[in-house]
Structure 1
Amino acid sequence: MDGILPLWKEKGMTSHDCVFKLRKILRTKKVGHTGTLDPNVEGVLPICIGQATKTASYITDSGKEYIAEVSIGTATETEDADGAAVQCDPSEKAISRSQLQAALASLTGHITQIPPMYSAVKVNGRRLYEYARKGLEVERPERTVVISRIDLLSDAEQFSGTEPKFTIRVACGKGTYIRTLAVQIGERLGYPAHMSKLVRTASGSFTQEDCLTLGQVQELMDEGRLQPHIRPLESALSGLPSAEAEGELLVFVQHGQVLPLHPLLASGGELVITSGGKAMAVYAPHPGKEGLMKPAKMFPLNWQKEDDCSGSD
């Protein structure tokens, strides 16, 4: 079984829990997820199976979409609802829709974030949450992330009370912390804040409508009906340019040979070499030889399928 299974991760489970259970359900060890979701977050978690595990990084690096609830008035140590309160503003607040829209607009585009202490980012070889659990705070590297769009989903014209809440939809790039974004929105408004709820609604080209729960996967597997729900590994590579290969060139690709640089790689990036719509390899500019390209990923099971097809009567 090779391909990508769009999974709906339910609350109360880690991404690793999902992988562990799927290895048992699918009866294969070659299973990997495409980006950690916190236990209390539900949402789209594409799972790579078999040789599709080689494509996991392309899904991880692709855009994500979330629906988040932001609470104004309290900041927590984890920046979400799971952590202890570290700052409170019990005053009555009255935030107009226009004020909030302006704050959201100021956080759209390329912005900088400092990863929260309770995160999996590594500093000096250790995860930040390892320091946090010991009560240690270390200097964290500031980094640039991309927020493509923030839509205000709540209808109110004014958000009032001691802890007003509102819901947003965020389309963003790799490495964005939505809970940190919630804190930044609060800062723009002049109040402490945290993210009180989060759902990931899309990861790359995979959406909530595409997903199965673990229970549904188990049921379909038991009934022998799961295969149609497994997406081909090519779906993870849809964001890359592609070029069809045939004849002698295809043989060179199958042997992982260095090739002349394809025009589509003139400005860098990566290129999918296909045959009959099947990905044979992903090529990238050669790091040490100008004008040449070399394979970054190879998919030998697809070559076997190609050979089987070409040799049939």
Structure 2
Amino acid sequence: MHRVRSGLERGAHVLAGVEVGRDLDGRICRARVQGAAVVGRDDRDGRQSFLAARAEDPQRDLAAVRHQDPVHAVSVASVGELDGKVAIVTGASRGIGAAVARALAAEGVRLGLGSRSGDDLGLNAVARRVDVRKRADLDRLVSDTVDTFGRLDILVANAGVGAYGPFLELSEAHVDEMIDVNLKGTIHAVRAALPQLLERGEGDIVAIASVAGLRAFPHESVYNASKFGQVGFIRSLDHELRERGIRCTCIAPGGVATDFALGEGRGRSEDVLTGMLTAEEVADVVVFALTRPRGMRILTTSFRPMTEDSWG
């Protein structure tokens, strides 16, 4: 067993031969020890420690870690499950999309990133300017990603917009943009990526939805409609694609502390963001869903900060 003890910053580091993908401010950290994984944390003495499994027999060592420290060990279903895979992430330049891209890169995933800025986030990814309302942009992103890496395994449809307020006060432009980006943008992204996934005989489609796709809120009528549509689309695809090896998952977080949370029609004070989820926490749930054994799938997962009311 290999123990690493150090205070860590966000980002990739190499410490005592262990490549640490990220440290979520003291929460779960994933890493690789020559292809294995950090599976837990022990901070009982007030310092950060990471328990890692060696690569020779990672499943055996993971079991040993859990036996040694069952309280602090974090179960990892498939060591190295994502290493070497290829993912496309839309809306990747900031917020949840950027956090997902960085989390996947830390797992060894090669990336095709689509955003209106075309930023590669310093990840040496295929990065293209993409407006998800334009099918041709998405086709080009998929084509360029596959040409570069030779395959496609994962689509994360993250691009989204929001405008809020009484229904009759929403402009037609706002209505069109929310439907075209949130719902039709997801549909266009799946149309572009799905043939590649079907050709491989397995893959993952992950839509970053919202609790607003599961519950209606006042002054969010069209945003609700776009997100309910997105969730319904992905749930229907699950029925259609499950037997062809494609897992379809909706990630439906509550409030997330990004610029999106200060969207059109909402308060601009950053006090609004207090107590919300972080983009990195959402990204961690995406990685969790993608690293489940291929024999299981997560359909829709919703989670909220402790400061946000539950419902239903």
Q: TM-score range by the shorter chain?
A: under 0.3
Q: Which one has a bigger Cα radius of gyration?
A: 1
Larger relative strand fraction: 1
Query: Per chain length, whose mean CA-contact separation is higher, i.e. which structure has more relative contact order (CA < 8 Å, sep 6+)?
Result: 1
TM-score with structure 1 setting the length: 0.23
Q: TM-score under structure 2 normalisation? A: 0.23
